[in-house]
Amino acid sequence: MTSGKGAAPAKEVLAFLARAYPGARVLLDHRNPFELLVATVLAAQCTDERVNAVTPPLFRAWPGPSPLSNASQEEIEAAVRSTGFYRNKARAIRELSAVLLERHDGRVPRTMEELTALPGVGRKTASILLGACFGLPALPVDTHVGRVSFRIGWTASKDPVRIEEDLARAIPPGKWWEFATRLGWHGRQVCVARKPRCPECGLAAVCPKRGV
């Protein structure tokens, strides 16, 4: 099983990731799917650490879609201001809370189509929910997954949808979620955007772009 000429062999990549990052998981703190949904929306253009500092008081004040949908725009803006783009984010989480109540009895849906129909929810966010909360095959493509996938030769695209399609062809569906999560960790810790730590990388021997 390989992903293309000149690409790192999929079998070796999967084996390395399993050894190196057996405990890889979503880094956004949450107690249920709704909290992860809100946290993921807030994480756009923001660090996980900052979001994890914001969400505990947010959910203490408004513990669920009903209280959050009834809060004022100004109140939510003040609570999420430090995550950046706070006006849009406050509007999105209020609106998605209202839509969850109207369409789904306050529960987070379990399909890509229903999730991406929620305000502020794109394909990456939906994939995170499907994989982390519901154990469904999902391939969330964030900047780390996209960067490492390009470097190991599994995609030539910079478009997240095309990257997801390329990865889906290389990896069995049952391994999508663990692969994406582990590859993301590798991108954060070793195959970083600037000055990747190739001498420390367990994929250096098979990476077509080692030393770049």
Which residues are known to be catalytic?
124, 142
Look up residue 8 and give its DSSP letter: P
Find tokens 């420390």 and name the residue: 200
**Residue 87: how many CB atoms within 10 A of its CB?**
13
Are the C-beta atoms of 153 and 209 separated by less than 8 Å? yes
**Residue 97: how many CB atoms within 10 A of its CB?**
26
Question: Using CA atoms, how far apart are residues 86 and 42, in angstroms rounded to an integer?
Answer: 8
Buried b (16+ CB within 10 A) or exposed e, 174-196: ebbbbbbbbbbbbbbebbeeeeb
User: SS3 of 176, please?
Assistant: helix
Residue 59 burial (10 A CB sphere; 0-12, 13-18, 19+): buried
Torsions phi, psi for 107 (to 5 deg): -100, 150
